[in-house]
Amino acid sequence: MTVSGIIQFISLTFGIVLSFFPDEYDRAASSWRKGDEDLADDTSHWPTDRTREIIPVNCHSHNDYWRRVPLFSALQAGCIGVEADVWLFDEELYVGHTTSSLTSRRTLRSLYVDPLVKVLNRQNPVTPFHRTVDNPPHGVFDTDPEQPVVLLIDFKTDGAATWPAVVKHLAPLRDRGYLTYFNGREIIPGPVTVVGTGNTPFDLVTANSTYRDIFFDAPLEKLVDDEKADQALSVPSDERLNDLGQGHSGMPNIITPTTFNVTNSFYASVSFRKAVGYPWPFHFTQHQMNIIRNQVRVAHRHGLKVRYWALPSWPVSLRNHIWRILALEGVDFINADDLAAATKGDWKIRIFDWWF
């Protein structure tokens, strides 16, 4: 066995062992579950301090429901985006990566909607010193109350059937004015911005022209450059159906420069592996850089936030190199599994990280 093979084996072994222990954010996130009564007599606390000292970072918590403390671990790390895969069974939305991982207690309401309501209620208190509800309401982060949290809901079951269930289950956030929405004229920011991906049908997202509070995860690779007014993209008939995955369900016959915009979409996403390819040997080619720069430019012209998924996660220095390049080129959200590494921004290249 070569030296590099031995190092890789040791690295993987340590990685497996460490995965059974909670990281710093998992441990800290457990404090979010404490009730206000636990802090009532503690003079070091105040009503909105749950996120004190947490600086929000443009990090997307990939497959957030896999974490020991879903939602709260990401917020504790400063991530402003979380992801929930939802499956519709008997009018309930269950959260998990596959149907084999679903349980009756892990639902969209229990893991995300209700906890967000609880946190935001605490961030918007009515007290003898503050007698009215804030309007607009404050967001999750005490250090930046105007920063929204993006809740990316990945429709895993039939898009048309899942849509009304998602709309219904978001009611507790909607009823309290916590959702970002489009009122037919402009975007009204809220503490939570909901984005639909996976089998989310674009035609249902855009069906209501006067009110929308679920936005689309547009296909980054299919955005049409608005510098060319006469440019349009014909969509094959089989891609206008539902259940085709991210950004491909319920598409119109023709995609034009105005199809995706801030009134109906928020993210513009694509698989990094498919759109850009693996940086080999461990650096971007000029062609790959041109792809990234063009996609970022076009998405930003549409007012959309760029997010690449399926990023290489190993070796660590390659991952860090990719994160650094994407951030420098204007990619808005870093899609991450390792929240500690993604949010600390210490993406230096270390020689031994090529094997760990």
Task: Please report, as a single letter, which amino acid is at residue 272.
Answer: F
Is pLDDT of 200 > 80?
yes
Task: Please report, as a single letter, which amino acid is at residue 294.
Answer: N
Q: Are 56 and 332 in contact (CB under 8 A)?
A: no
- Which pLDDT value is given to residue 215? 98
Is pLDDT of 250 > 90?
yes
Mean pLDDT of the 306-311 span: 96
pLDDT band per the 50, 70, 90 thresholds, residue 230? low
Q: Are 238 and 156 in contact (CB under 8 A)?
A: no
Beta strands in the chain (DSSP E): 57-61, 79-89, 92-95, 149-155, 181-182, 187-188, 192-198, 214-219, 233-234, 254-255, 265-271, 305-309, 334-336
Mean pLDDT of the 191-218 span: 98
As given in the structure block, the two tokens for residue 218 are: 């547009």
Closest CA to 327 of 313, 302, 308: 308
Closest CA to 61 of 337, 347, 340: 337
pLDDT band per the 50, 70, 90 thresholds, residue 144? very high
Is pLDDT of 266 > 90?
yes
pLDDT band per the 50, 70, 90 thresholds, residue 31? low
Is pLDDT of 14 > 50?
no
**Fold of the domain spanning 57-354:** TIM Barrel (3.20.20)
- Which pLDDT value is given to residue 33? 59
- Which pLDDT value is given to residue 23? 57
- Which pLDDT value is given to residue 1? 47
- Which pLDDT value is given to residue 38? 53
- Which pLDDT value is given to residue 46? 73
For the ranges 14-23, 85-94, 148-157, 197-206, the lowest mean pLDDT is seen at 14-23
Query: pLDDT by residue (tens digit) across 105-138?
Result: 999 999 999 999 999 999 999 888 887 888 899 9
C-alpha 338/C-alpha 61 separation (Å) is 8
Of 153 and 235, more confident: 153
Helix (H, G, I), strand (E, B) or coil at 39: helix
Mean pLDDT of the 48-56 span: 87
Instruction: Quote the percentage of the chain above a pLDDT of 90.
Output: 67
Is pLDDT of 36 > 70?
no
Q: Are 169 and 108 in contact (CB under 8 A)?
A: yes
Domain coordinates in residue numbering, the chain: 57-354
Number of other CB atoms surrounding residue 105 within 10 Å: 9
Query: pLDDT by residue (tens digit) across 332-350?
Result: 999 999 999 999 877 766 5
Number of other CB atoms surrounding residue 287 within 10 Å: 9
Is pLDDT of 53 > 60?
yes
- Which pLDDT value is given to residue 8? 45
- Which pLDDT value is given to residue 128? 85
Helix (H, G, I), strand (E, B) or coil at 158: coil
- Which pLDDT value is given to residue 315? 87
Is pLDDT of 11 > 50?
no
Mean pLDDT of the 186-202 span: 98
- Which pLDDT value is given to residue 351? 53
Is pLDDT of 26 > 70?
no
**CB-count exposure of residue 101 (10 Å: 0-12, 13-18, 19+):** middle
Closest CA to 48 of 170, 173, 133, 112: 133
